[in-house]
Structure formats: structure tokens, C-alpha cells
Amino acid sequence: MKREIINLTWIAIIMILTVSCKKEKDNEGTKAVFSYVTDGYVTNFTNFSTDATTYEWDFGDNSGATSTKKSPQYVYKTKGKYLVSLTAKKGDIVSTFKDTVNILGPNIKIDGDFTDWEHVEYTYVNEDNQGGTLRAVKTFANGKYLNFLLEGTDQMVLDVIVVHMDTDKNPDTGYKIDWLYPVASGTDYKLEGSFTGNWGGLAKHSGNPADGWNGFSSDIASFDETILYSPPKTVEGKKLIEFSIDRSFLGTLNGSLNFCIIENSSSYTERGSIPATGLPDGKYAIYPL
């Protein structure tokens, strides 16, 4: 009788082991899975795939960029949602996992530290020897601000700055500066002021090009109310300034807007411009929103 109990116990143990072994077997096999962490445009993927020897990543941004690294880092170029696909393989066994990565872009702060712009692509770069004191501009919009990083020569002072914005993207409405940008202008809002003299403001145009310069309203907001900036600073041979414009003053914005930035001396001689003025095909740059 005792022996029988022992035998039954063994049978029970063997049965449990068999069941757990079978269970283990069900979980076996190649399975793709990943997680990710984003910091601005930089995304670090962590690969949790099981029983795989090779990996293929598609980052979903139509750039054709792929990777065969186990846990790659990828830097996106614009904000947006991207369907990322990881295919894990072991011999003929293939498993694919997809997840949507939401890229919000960098958290730009107007603080005189420009590392927040590191992975932001240039919006516009002047050709060599064009544009005077202004060389290049980066832009990044968030819900509240249009942020700019402006690069100039060591001669960039910004005594007087004029930012022309064609917010309705229609060159036939607003102020036209055909002699500077013959292909297209059409300023609906003009921000004009001084980073050194503490004056200026934002004006709105009537919309009728025939009204010319007189079509601008008196200031709807002061320079300081509209713009936030840090003092120009030279970093690695480039003179840089970052500033942001409060977009709540600019009416409805949709998709993008057109803009140019002009630096004048205090006696209103043009010192620099981006895009460069006076070119036969000159027109405003496009600010993506």
C-alpha cells in the first residue's frame, strides 16, 4: 500500500513535469518585440525579441533608413507619428512586431544654450557671399511659439530686426516687397524692433497690397510682448541668437507660413537678410508648423 502511494506520487510529479514542459514548449519560438524612449528627435529602441539571431528595423519615415542592429538609435527629421517595424529571424522562422512612435520634437528653450537645436535641420541657408550678416536659420514650432535659431557672421548685431510673415501664404495679400523678393512676398504681419535698443512692435497689414507701407496698423503688441530672446553669442565661430514669437498674435496658422528676416543698421541700411534679398528668384522661406 505504501509503495502504491509512492508510485502514485511519482506519477503525479511526472504528469506535472510533462504539463510544465509542454507549456514551456508553447512559449518557445522566435518572437519580435521592442520598446522605445524618445528625447526630441532621438529615439532609442530596446529589443526584447526572443529566440532570434538577426533583426531588421524599418523606422517608418519613408526615408528608406533601416538597421540590422539589435537595439538601434534613430534620429527622426520631423515631428510626427511613425509606424516602426521590427522583423526578428531565426533560420526560416520570422516574427514581425510593429508599434507607432510619436515624435514630438525638441523642447526648445530660449535660454542661450543652443544644444536643444542640435538635431533640428536648417530651414534655410544662404549661399556663400549672399545675405550679408545673416547666414542660416533653423525653425521649430510648438503649440505656443514660433522658435528661431538665427546664425550670422561676427558682424551680426541686430540693432534693428524686421521679421516679415506671410501667414496666409498668399503673395497677393498684404505688403509686397517686390524689389527685395521679386517672386513672392505678401507680408500679413511685420515684427520690427531692436534687440539692443528695447523698442519695437508687431503690426498687421490691411491685406490690400495697394495700401503699401501705410497698410500696416499701429502696433498690436509691443516687441517685448511678442518676442522672447537670449543675447547673441558666439559658439564654435558662429554667432547665434535664439528667439521665439508668440503665435497667438498671428491669427490662424495652417501647415506652414512664409517668412524672411532682415537686419538693418540703426540708420536703416540693410546689413543682412535671410533669404538673401535682391536675387532674381528671391522669395520668402517656408516655416513648417
Give the binding site for Ca ion (CB under 5 A): 109, 111, 113, 116, 166, 168, 170, 173-174, 186, 188
C-alpha distances out from residue 255 to 2, 138, 168, 258, Å = 83, 17, 10, 11
Find residue 11's DSSP bridge partners.
none
C-alpha distances out from residue 66 to 91, 100, 135, 220, Å = 20, 16, 33, 49
CB 58 within 8 A of CB 85: yes
CB 139 within 8 A of CB 108: no
The residue (of 184 and 279) whose beta carbon lies closer to Ca ion is: 184
Minimum distance, C-beta of residue 279 to Ca ion, in the bound complex (Å): 20
The residue (of 34 and 181) whose beta carbon lies closer to Ca ion is: 181
CB 49 within 8 A of CB 85: no
Find residue 259's DSSP bridge partners.
165, 285
Minimum distance, C-beta of residue 106 to Ca ion, in the bound complex (Å): 9
The residue (of 72 and 106) whose beta carbon lies closer to Ca ion is: 106
Minimum distance, C-beta of residue 187 to Ca ion, in the bound complex (Å): 7
Minimum distance, C-beta of residue 147 to Ca ion, in the bound complex (Å): 9
CB-closest chain residue to Ca ion: 186
Minimum distance, C-beta of residue 268 to Ca ion, in the bound complex (Å): 23
> Which three three-digit cell numbers place residue 49?
525579441
Query: What does the alpha-carbon distance between residue 245 and residue 251 come to, in Å, rounded to a whole number?
Result: 13
Sequence-distant (≥ 6) Cβ neighbours of residue 176 within 8 angstroms: 185, 186, 187, 209
Query: What does the alpha-carbon distance between residue 33 and residue 190 come to, in Å, rounded to a whole number?
Result: 51
The residue (of 31 and 79) whose beta carbon lies closer to Ca ion is: 79
The residue (of 59 and 175) whose beta carbon lies closer to Ca ion is: 175
At residue 236, φ and ψ (nearest 5 deg) are 50, 50
The residue (of 9 and 217) whose beta carbon lies closer to Ca ion is: 217
Minimum distance, C-beta of residue 181 to Ca ion, in the bound complex (Å): 12
The residue (of 168 and 219) whose beta carbon lies closer to Ca ion is: 168
Collapse the DSSP code of 27 into the 3-class scheme (helix H, G, I; strand E, B; otherwise coil) and give the result. Answer: helix
Minimum distance, C-beta of residue 24 to Ca ion, in the bound complex (Å): 53
